């Protein structure tokens, strides 16, 4: 199969899967088998592009011309492949987990859930492979829209409110700022293709570039930089597999991915570091990292705490990008992957606790480690990776980011990373301590419970194992990320 | 012309409004015909001894416009008859009161 | 032989069939007749468009009398494009119409409805194709009178007063128009548009011409419901039968926009009237006010038809805004939005028609839980709604992209910002509908309802898919719009 066909197939297969899932809604087993097969095929297709891209190939496909001179086109480059591989691999595991979670919690409208999930994946792959800003923007919006039914899955008033904030912030920022920025870019540069070294150099004054940059950064609401982060905690009303999708697989990753992509391929990091009007991003992301970590400490709801942790972790990626040193950009690419594995493990664990014990608050978790050893071990691994302790993958990406910061002399960034590591430890370690070492409250009337179902445990064990394995064998991703610079 | 226009705006009786509309239109017709007037001209019919004719085109146009105007009036009057049948009145303020009632009724059904 | 007479056939066929429909009376037969007429006009207009694109403007002299004595039919790119829009919408609405009409209009009046529909179509097509300002007035009145009748056929008694008000406003508008025409004739002695284009510049400084311009613009703006002259529109759309709303929303105001285009860019094209008279600023300001006011009012409506009626007023604001830039991109944006909005609104109103048929009403309460009870209809409406917002890969995005671009190009930053802000308002009212339809449970005592009949669903979906197709692949339509804008700015009908 030629690489071009592979790209087309990777874009179409999740959609075909969605249609088949919709038609097999009456037979849950068939429906879920189709999901798994689709996910597996998708990953195989995406992974098959790896050797080619490593050898410098950039296969591309043009689907059609949307506006005169602006086409819907796809082209695979290292960062996109990295994102696509993570998304498609985690979809397999997430589907496995969803099967356990959705069945055990007897959720309604499961078919709609799987259909939207498949469409969300198709959009993510399209974002990853987008060859120009217009294509990226189109599927960015598609991703927002097709995850909306997932966020409001339960249909309760609370879900509706959460959905409103989710959609409101994401659409408002993207149409309000991102679209403006794109049109503006087009007028300045006459081009929207992602090009190595950027397309804007020398085409406008520093002030214009700075403004444009701000429009981009705040237009990409999915990257959850403060103050446009509020949708993430609001979207916590969704079922856990959806949270995992939002945080690890697709949505926030699409956000930071877009940020990196724009910095590297639209502005060009050499160009950005030569002008001074974009430094504020460094401070803003540092601020977000610290504030979100402090907020996370104050959350008692486990999922909300994880949400704030995500906000702070995303800003790691943005800050690493804003340092604009080659090594830190490698770190940023790596951190996307690393955070994906760590965070999905944490969410799987949270969902597992909810499924087995119906507990949602941190303060209820005393002694739970003894009842659910697998879940809590996985949780510990995920948490350690978030803090950045070896032997978990989080250490590797943090190493690269710090290294890059040292090289370029960004002392502030280093201070922020150190403090935030302490804060991370501050909100994760108590949970782990309580789970394993505190006595269970006796008057707890939830009675006996053990581990959640097999599918859930297997899923979270795989991601936890992957988090550790990535520490020992990070080569795959590092090589890919190094192609970026 | 302005008189007719004023009647349309100020009157609350639907029939009177239509009368106003007619006055308004007729004034425009007259305006057209006056435009076609040529000093010392006669009707545009070929007869010996007359050299100057008034411009016939506006007359023809206005003939068409009159037809349109008649149709409009007829339709407006027909509508007024129907309104009278259903509302029982042709005073605009009374109709508005009835319509507000309709709207209230619709709102009651809302959650 | 026939091919040479296509321009006149376009108008004359529906005109001749209308009285035949009146004589036939049997509602089914009349429907079949009307349906075939609409499809015939559609194919004629397509042929004409292709011809115009291939070989330039078509000029047809009725009865062989040359202008300025005879009446000319002239078709340039803009005209041919609008012609296709009108006839396409007409044919799709007719395909859709049967069940909806049978449900909403008393049996003994159905044949009258179709007669009126044909007359209205005649009028709209005639307006577009004619090359004579007075002839245009006649067609305008044909279409207006028949649409008053169609609106008054609505079930609610308020349809009558809505039609009456529309009649008063419409007639005033038309009379204003004819005053303007009279003044122009006084100065130039011709009614032929092509002649006028040549003659007007020589007299353009006179006060008479300025007065004429004012009368023409106000008259036409009344017809096209530019804020604040839109007062007739919400009620008329709300209480008219669904089919009529779908048809008028997609065509009547659009054709009026076409008249405005003709006046501003063809009649007064050589004198750059927009800037000379300060009209540009007036139109732009009104358009922007329309965007915000109408969208805001729309947010608070409980009747869906009324909500989308106000949304129409706002969308007309976009079209006028595009035109008021008076640049090629701006005009193209206006024209393309004219096309896009026709598709979107027609989809939505057809969807609402399906709901009226099955549920009996379109208030918020009727919409609860409809996402599950009529999934296909609601999906079509949602696609339309996304188009209104301007989500990429729908037609709305294309128009918005070009509008913003036109604003940027002229360096009018605040206006670009306003365009974008106003589309955020659209999100609010569209999402209100999505939430009611998908997240509110249906009332307990709700009757079991079926999905809408196939013919109705299919026609709404044809348009919904069209709105996606022309969103993903806008090059064809955009090129036509760009060429049309170019020909308007450089030469018009000459």
Per-residue pLDDT tens over the stretch C235-249: 888 888 888 999 998
In a domain, C371, yes or no: yes
State yes or no: cis peptide before A391, omega within 30 of 0: yes
Read off the pLDDT of residues C377-399 as tens digits, 9 standing for 90 and up. Answer: 888 999 999 998 888 888 888 88
Total structural domains within chain A: 1
What b-and-e string marks burial along A40-52, b requiring 16 or more CB atoms within 10 Å of the CB? ebbbebbeebbee
Which pLDDT value is given to residue A373? 85
Q: Which residues contact A40 (CB under 8 A, 6 or more apart)?
A: A92
pLDDT in the model for residue B111: 45
Stronger pLDDT, B32 or A315, i.e. the higher one: A315
pLDDT of residue B51: 64
Inside any domain, residue A209: no
Please judge whether A183 and C408 are an interchain contact, meaning their C-beta atoms are less than 8 angstroms apart. Answer: yes
Task: Test C404 with A72 for CB contact under 8 angstroms.
Answer: no
Among A159, A164, A183, pick the best mutation site for testing chain C contact (most C Cβ within 10 A): A183
Q: For residue A32, is pLDDT > 80? A: yes
Domains of chain B by start residue, with CATH: 2-93 (1.10.287)
Percent pLDDT > 70 in chain C is 96
Question: What pLDDT, on the 0 to 100 scale, is given for residue A71?
Answer: 83
Residue A397 has pLDDT above 60, yes or no: yes
Q: Is residue C126 over pLDDT 60?
A: yes
3-class SS letters over C436-460: HHHHCCCCCCCCCCCCCCHHHHHHH
How many domains does chain C divide into?
1
Q: What is the mean pLDDT of chain C?
A: 85
**What is the model's pLDDT at position C68?**
63
pLDDT range class, residue C123, cuts 50, 70, 90: very high
- What pLDDT is attached to residue C344? 92
Q: Which residues of C touch B75 (CB under 8 A)?
A: 145, 148-149, 167
Decide if A173 is inside a domain: no
**Residue B53 clears pLDDT 50, i.e. is over it:** yes
Any domain includes A170:
no
- Contact criterion met (CB below 8 Å) for A366 and A434: yes
- Residue C328's domain comprises 278-494
Region B78-86 average pLDDT: 87
**Cβ-based neighbour number of residue A183 at 10 Å:** 24
Residue C75 has pLDDT above 80, yes or no: yes
Tell me whether residue A370 is in a domain: yes
Q: 10 Å Cβ neighbour count for C65?
A: 11
Q: How far is B42 from chain C (nearest CA, A)?
A: 19
A313 inside domain? yes
Nearest partner of C342 among C136, C90, C126, C117, judged by Cα: C90
Instruction: Pull the structure tokens for residue A376.
Output: 């809590």
Closest CB from A145, A168, A179 relative to C420 = A179
> Quick check: is C52 in a domain?
no
Q: What is the pLDDT of residue A353?
A: 87
Mutate to test the interface with C, among A63, A141, A174, A188 (most CBs of C within 10 A): A141
Q: Kindly report, residue by residue over C38-63, the tens digit of the pLDDT.
A: 999 999 999 888 888 888 788 888 77
Select from B24, B87, B109 the Cβ nearest to the Cβ of C157. Answer: B87
When pLDDT is averaged across residues C334-361 and rounded to a whole number, the result is 88
Please write the tens of the pLDDT for every residue from A339-369.
Answer: 888 889 998 898 888 888 888 888 888 888 8
Residue C458 belongs to a domain = yes
Question: Which of the four pLDDT bands, split at 50, 70 and 90, describes residue B52?
Answer: low
Question: By CA distance, what is C145's nearest residue in B?
Answer: B72
Beta strand ranges found along A190-271 (DSSP E): none
User: Does residue A29 fall inside a structural domain?
Assistant: no
Which distant-in-sequence residues (6+ apart) come within 8 Å of A444 by Cβ? Answer: none
Q: Is the pLDDT of residue C65 over 80?
A: no
Give the pLDDT confidence of A91-126 residue by residue, as tens digits: 888 888 888 888 888 777 788 888 888 999 999 999
Q: Residue B23 to residues B75, C140, C241, C385: CA-CA distances in angstroms?
A: 16, 21, 32, 44
Q: Which pLDDT belongs to residue C124?
A: 92
Smallest Cβ–Cβ distance between C392 and the set A141, A168, A186 belongs to A141
pLDDT band at B38 (very low <50, low <70, confident <90, very high): low
A174 or A206, higher pLDDT = A174
Tell whether C232 lies on the interface with B, counting CB pairs under 8 A: no
Determine contact: C165 vs chain B, CB below 8 A. no
Nearest to A172 among C424, C441, C474 (CB): C424
Determine the average pLDDT of the residues in C391-415. 86
Do the domain assignments include residue A240? no
Q: What's phi and psi for A64, nearest 5 deg?
A: -175, 170
pLDDT of residue C494: 44
Cβ contact, residue pair C393, A138, below 8 Å? yes
Closest CB from C391, C405, C471 relative to A145: C391
- Residue C287 is assigned to a structural domain of this protein: yes
Is B107 a residue whose pLDDT tops 80? no
Residue A264: pLDDT band (50, 70, 90) is: confident
Average pLDDT score, chain A? 85
Only one residue has tokens 């040292």, namely A406
**Given 3-state DSSP classes, what are the helix, strand and coil percentages for chain B, each rounded to the nearest 5?**
75, 5, 25
How sure is the predictor about B83, in pLDDT bands with cuts at 50, 70 and 90?
confident
Domain assignment present for C101: no
Residues facing A75 on adjacent strands: A60
* Separation between Cα atoms, residue C493 and residue C484, nearest integer Å: 11
Q: Is the pLDDT of residue C459 over 60?
A: yes
**Is pLDDT of C144 > 50?**
yes
How many Cβ contacts (< 8 angstroms) between chains A and C? Answer: 80
* Highest-scoring range by mean pLDDT, A203-217, C183-197, C205-219, C338-352: C338-352
A446 pLDDT more than 60: no
Q: Which two tokens stand for residue A469?
A: 């394995």
The mean per-residue pLDDT over the stretch B53-63 comes to 77
B82 touches chain C (CB under 8 A): yes
The two structure tokens encoding residue A453:
């179902």
């Amino acid at each position: 199969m030629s690489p071009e066909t592979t790209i087309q197939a990777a874009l179409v297969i999740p959609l075909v899967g969605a249609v088949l899932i919709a038609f097999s809604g009456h037979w849950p087993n068939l429906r879920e088998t189709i999901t798994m097969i689709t996910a597996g095929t998708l990953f195989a297709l995406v992974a098959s592009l790896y050797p080619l891209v490593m050898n410098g190939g950039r296969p591309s496909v043009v689907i059609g011309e949307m506006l005169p001179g602006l086409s819907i086109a796809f082209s695979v480059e290292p960062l996109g492949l990295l994102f696509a591989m993570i998304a498609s691999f985690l979809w397999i595991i997430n589907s496995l987990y969803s099967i356990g979670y959705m069945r055990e919690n007897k959720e309604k409208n499961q078919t709609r859930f799987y259909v939207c999930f498949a469409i969300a994946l198709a959009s993510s792959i399209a974002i990853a492979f987008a060859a120009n800003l217009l294509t990226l923007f189109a599927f960015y919006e598609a991703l927002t829209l097709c995850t909306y039914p997932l966020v409001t899955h339960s249909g309760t008033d609370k879900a509706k409110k959460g959905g409103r904030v989710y959609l409101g912030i994401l659409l408002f920022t993207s149409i309000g700022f991102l679209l403006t920025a794109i049109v503006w870019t087009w007028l300045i540069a006459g081009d929207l293709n992602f090009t190595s070294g950027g397309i804007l150099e020398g085409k406008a004054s520093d002030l214009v570039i700075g403004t444009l940059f701000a429009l981009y950064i705040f237009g990409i609401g999915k990257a959850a930089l403060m103050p446009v982060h509020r949708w993430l905690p609001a979207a916590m009303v969704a079922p856990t597999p959806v949270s995992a999708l939002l945080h690890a697989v697709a949505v926030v990753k699409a956000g930071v991915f877009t940020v990196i992509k724009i910095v590297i391929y639209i502005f060009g990091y050499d160009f950005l570091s030569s002008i001074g009007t974009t430094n504020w991003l460094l401070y803003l992301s540092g601020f977000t990292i610290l504030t979100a970590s402090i907020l996370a400490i104050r959350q008692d709801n486990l999922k909300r705490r994880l949400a704030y942790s995500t906000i702070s972790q995303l800003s790691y990626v943005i800050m690493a990008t804003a340092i604009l040193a080659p090594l830190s950009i490698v770190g940023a690419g790596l951190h996307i992957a690393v955070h994906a594995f760590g965070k999905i493990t944490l969410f799987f664990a949270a969902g597992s606790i909810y499924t087995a014990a119906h507990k949602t608050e941190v303060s209820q978790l005393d002694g739970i480690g003894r009842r659910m050893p697998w879940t809590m071990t996985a949780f510990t691994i995920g948490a350690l990776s978030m803090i950045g302790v070896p032997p978990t993958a989080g250490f590797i990406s943090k190493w690269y980011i710090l290294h890059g910061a040292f090289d370029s002399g960004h002392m502030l960034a280093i201070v922020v990373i150190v403090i935030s590591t302490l804060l991370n430890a501050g909100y994760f370690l108590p949970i782990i301590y309580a789970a394993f070492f505190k006595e269970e409250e006796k008057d707890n009337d939830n009675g006996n419970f053990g581990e959640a179902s097999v599918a859930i445990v297997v899923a979270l064990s795989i991601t936890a194992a992957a988090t550790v394995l990535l520490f020992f064998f990070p080569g795959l991703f590092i090589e890919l990320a190094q192609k970026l610079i | 012309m302005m008189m007719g226009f004023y009647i349309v705006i100020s009157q609350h009786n639907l029939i009177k409004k239509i009368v106003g509309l007619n006055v308004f239109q007729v004034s425009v017709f007259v305006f057209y015909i006056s435009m076609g007037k040529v000093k010392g001209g006669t009707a545009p019919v070929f007869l010996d001894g007359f050299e100057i004719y008034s411009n016939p085109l506006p007359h023809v146009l206005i003939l068409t416009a009159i037809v349109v105007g008649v149709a409009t009036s007829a339709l407006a009057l027909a509508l007024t008859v129907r309104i009278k049948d259903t509302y029982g009145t042709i005073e605009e303020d009374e109709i508005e009161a009835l319509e507000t009632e309709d709207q209230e009724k619709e709102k009651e059904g809302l959650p | 032989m026939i091919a040479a007479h296509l321009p006149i056939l376009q108008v004359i066929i529906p005109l001749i069939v209308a009285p035949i429909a009146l004589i036939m009376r049997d509602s089914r037969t009349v429907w079949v007749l009307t349906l075939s007429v609409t499809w015939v006009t559609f194919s004629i207009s397509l042929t004409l468009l292709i011809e115009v694109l291939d070989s330039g403007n078509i000029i047809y002299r009725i009865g062989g009398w040359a202008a300025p004595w005879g009446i000319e039919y002239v078709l340039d790119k803009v005209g041919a494009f609008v012609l296709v829009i009108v006839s396409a919408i007409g044919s799709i609405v007719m395909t859709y119409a049967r069940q909806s009409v049978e449900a909403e209009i008393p049996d003994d009046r159905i044949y009258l409805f179709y007669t009126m529909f044909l007359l209205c179509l005649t009028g709209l097509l005639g307006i577009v194709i004619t090359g004579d300002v007075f002839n245009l007035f006649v067609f305008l009145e044909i279409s207006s009178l028949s649409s008053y009748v169609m609106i008054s056929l609505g079930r609610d008694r308020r349809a009558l007063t809505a039609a009456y008000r529309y009649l008063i406003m419409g007639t005033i508008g038309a009379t204003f128009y004819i005053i303007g025409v009279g003044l122009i004739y006084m100065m130039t002695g011709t009614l032929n548009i092509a002649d006028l284009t040549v003659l007007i510049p020589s007299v353009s400084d006179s006060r008479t011409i300025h007065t004429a311009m004012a009368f023409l613009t106000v008259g036409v703006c009344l017809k096209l419901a530019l804020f604040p002259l839109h007062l007739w529109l919400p009620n008329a759309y709300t209480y008219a039968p669904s089919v009529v709303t779908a048809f008028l929303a997609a065509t009547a105001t659009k054709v009026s926009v076409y008249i405005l285009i003709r006046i501003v860019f063809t009649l007064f094209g050589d004198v750059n009237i927009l800037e000379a008279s300060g009209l540009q600023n007036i139109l732009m300001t009104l358009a922007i006010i329309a965007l915000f006011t109408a969208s805001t009012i729309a947010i608070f409506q409980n009747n869906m038809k009324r909500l989308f009626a106000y949304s129409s007023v706002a969308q007309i604001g976009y079209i006028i805004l595009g035109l008021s830039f008076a640049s090629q991109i701006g005009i193209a944006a206006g024209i393309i939005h004219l096309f896009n909005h026709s598709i979107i609104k027609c989809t939505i109103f057809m969807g609402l028609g399906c709901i009226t048929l099955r549920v009996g009403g379109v208030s918020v309460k009727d919409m609860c839980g409809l996402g599950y009870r009529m999934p296909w209809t609601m999906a079509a409406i949602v696609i339309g709604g996304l188009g209104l917002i301007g989500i990429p890969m729908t037609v709305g995005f294309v128009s918005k992209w070009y509008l913003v671009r036109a604003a940027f190009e002229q360096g009018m930053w605040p206006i670009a910002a306003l365009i974008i802000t106003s589309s955020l308002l659209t999100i609010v009212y569209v999402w209100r509908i999505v939430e009611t339809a998908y997240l509110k449970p249906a009332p307990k005592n709700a009757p079991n309802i079926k999905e809408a009949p196939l013919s109705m669903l299919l026609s709404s979906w044809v348009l919904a898919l069209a709105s996606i197709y022309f969103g993903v692949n806008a090059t064809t339509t955009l090129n036509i719009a760009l060429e049309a804008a170019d020909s308007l700015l450089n030469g018009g009908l000459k």
